[in-house]
Amino acid sequence: MDEKRTILFVTSNSGKLDEARLALNPFGLNIESFRFNEEFTKIEEIQSSELRHVAKDKLRKAVTIVNNSSNKLGVMVEDAGFFIDELDGFPGVYSSYVHETLGIQGIIKILTGIENRDACFKCVIGIHLDDEELFFEGECKGQVSGKAVGTNGFGYDPIFIPDEGNGRTFAEMNSKEKQKFSHRGKAMEALRAYLQQRNQSPTSNQCSES
């Protein structure tokens, strides 16, 4: 594929990478993961109450890392969080830490006996194209299930039932279905629509003017 249409996605999450490819490859955008010594690159996240701030900081770090080896390609990062209404949005920006420590069983336990199961996923994609930083957001509302169901996807997928999706968790859906409803699918669609609207490839001159 033409290198000019390649975006380097700096992530250590292969699930996110697969979903980005699924969303953007059909539109002629080649999504490659940035690896160092064959390893996925994990970027240290700042502590902030805003996903967007985290994404912005991640993007700048990613651009620095990538520019050390190549300054020709678009660079993308993504930050997501799981926000539970009854817990005032927790784990939110702490979703990664909570997933590693409490895990989904811990969340199920915390919510035992609680009627309000409303929750949402949010994600912010940050992309650096030439000298411009762009951000695209997506949100998906739903419910936290009482038990883990399904084996697809990653992270909190087995305990999240999106409002659209016939009562199934994300982990019961294949990636195409998840993409239709998901926070990431929506943010990727916003990115794709933006690029299409400006009728350009990620590295064209127009897009580089901020």
Q: Which residues bind ligand IMP (CB under 6 A)?
A: 13, 79-82, 95-96, 99, 121, 153-157, 170, 182, 184
- Point out the catalytic residue in the list 2, 18, 57, 79: 79
DSSP result, 54-100:
HHHHHHHHHHHHHHTT-SSSEEEEEEEEEEEGGGTT-EETTHHHHHH
Closest residue to bound ligand IMP by CB: 155
> Does the annotation mark 79 as catalytic?
yes
- Residue 106 C-beta: closest distance to ligand IMP, Å: 12
Alpha-carbon distance of 69 to 134, in angstroms, equals 22
- Other beta carbons within 10 Å of 51: 21
Beta carbon nearer to ligand IMP, 44 or 88 = 44
Beta carbon nearer to ligand IMP, 63 or 159 = 159
Our CA dihedral for 162, 166, 167, 171, rounded to 10 degrees, sits at -60
Which of these, 75, 73, 74, lies nearest to 41 by C-alpha position?
75
What crossing angle do the helices spanning 183-197 and 14-24 adopt, rounded to 10°? 40
- Residue 121 C-beta: closest distance to ligand IMP, Å: 6
Beta carbon nearer to ligand IMP, 5 or 58 = 58
Q: Are 178 and 19 in contact (CB under 8 A)?
A: yes
- Residue 163 C-beta: closest distance to ligand IMP, Å: 15
- Residue 2 C-beta: closest distance to ligand IMP, Å: 29
Beta carbon nearer to ligand IMP, 62 or 80 = 80
Our CA dihedral for 22, 27, 28, 33, rounded to 10 degrees, sits at -30
Annotated active-site positions, please?
Answer: 79
